[in-house]
Amino acid sequence: MSEGQKGGEFFTPTAIVQLIVGIIEPFHGRIFDPACGSGDMFVQSARFVTEHQKNPEAELSIYGQEKVTETVRLGKMNLSVHGLAGDIRQANAYYEDLHRSTGKFDFVMANSASDARGSEMDVRRQIIEARAVDVMVSVGSNFFYTVTLPCTLWFLDKGKSGSASRADQVLFIDARHIYRQIDRAHRDWTPAQIEFLANITRIYRCESAENLHDSADLLTEHFPDGRYVDIPGLCKVSTLAEIEAQGWSLNPGRYVGVAAREEDDFDFKVRLVEQNEELEILNAEARELESRIAENVAKLLEGER
């Protein structure tokens, strides 16, 4: 995730965790979370497996790392309460890799650090050119309890490079206008909304859509033929060439565009919130570009000495 973090620790809302799990579909394998906190990623992965009529203890192997000792204890207790076993170790994942994780795990779920330095564009370009970026999802503001900023979920899949249809494409989903208002300051998603968003990725991957949480009406409303199509304001499949033309940006708003609105469908408050969220993302990109320009200017000045 990015944007929705100003530093320090924060709790990832269950709704967002459930969407992450719904998109990566950890039916079987080794799961690793290098900043696992209380272990909700593991619990929701087990729940996903159970919903699909399988035994998570038999299907999943759980590994985690967490820097705060008290939180490690909480994570282990959370696993135990849900009848799960796992290997959670105490260490800061920025500096220590206690599980020797490179190439070891089938699914890795983590909260990333957000960095607007010039080098970030180079990192994005490299992972995009490596055909690793699979899906990008924009999430609206007020989902987190500690920060109000929107965030972006990154889904990387090293295996997609072997897919003739997906290797040179990225699916962008703008979910900022999809939410349930809990109170004035907080939002989440209903189970049907989570399943609907995950189903967009499923039909994009030519998989069968699911209806365990009554999302069929939402899917039919947007995809009446049950097949993936680009929908302005919601989703867009973009090629690597299109992404390069946008300066290697992975902001879904750059590609998805805006849904057509009827004259009488204008809601000033909703529109203002949408524009403010877009402004936050554009400001982050502007700071990155400013830093990159300063970095390049410094290099040029050093070369003239």
What's the pLDDT tens digit per position in 192-206?
Answer: 999 999 999 999 999
Q: Given 57, 79, 105, which residue is the final one in a domain?
A: 105
What is the rounded average pLDDT of the residues 263-277?
68
Statement: residue 54 has pLDDT above 60: yes
Between residues 149 and 265, the one the model is more confident about:
149
Query: Which pLDDT value is given to residue 285?
Result: 74
Question: Do 58 and 199 have their domain in common?
Answer: no
pLDDT in tens, 12-43: 899 999 999 999 999 999 999 999 999 999 99
Question: Do 58 and 127 have their domain in common?
Answer: no
Question: Do 5 and 32 have their domain in common?
Answer: no
**Measured distance CA(12)–CA(216) in Å, rounded:** 27
Number of domains forming the structure of the chain: 2
Calculated CA dihedral for residues 237, 242, 247, 253, nearest 10 degrees:
-40
Domain of residue 91: give its range. Answer: 27-105
* 294 found inside a domain: yes
Query: Which pLDDT value is given to residue 261?
Result: 63
Question: Do 126 and 78 have their domain in common?
Answer: no
Between residues 271 and 106, the one the model is more confident about:
106
Neighbours of 135 (CB within 10 A): 26
Burial (CB count <10 Å: 0-12, 13-18, 19+), residue 162: exposed
Question: Do 84 and 5 have their domain in common?
Answer: no
Q: Where are the alpha helices (DSSP H) in 181-267?
A: 191-204, 216-222, 240-245, 253-256
Q: β-pairing, 29-33 with 60-66?
A: parallel
Q: Given 68, 83, 105, which residue is the final one in a domain?
A: 105
**Which residue, among 82, 44, 81, 79, has the nearest Cα to 63 in the 3D structure?**
79
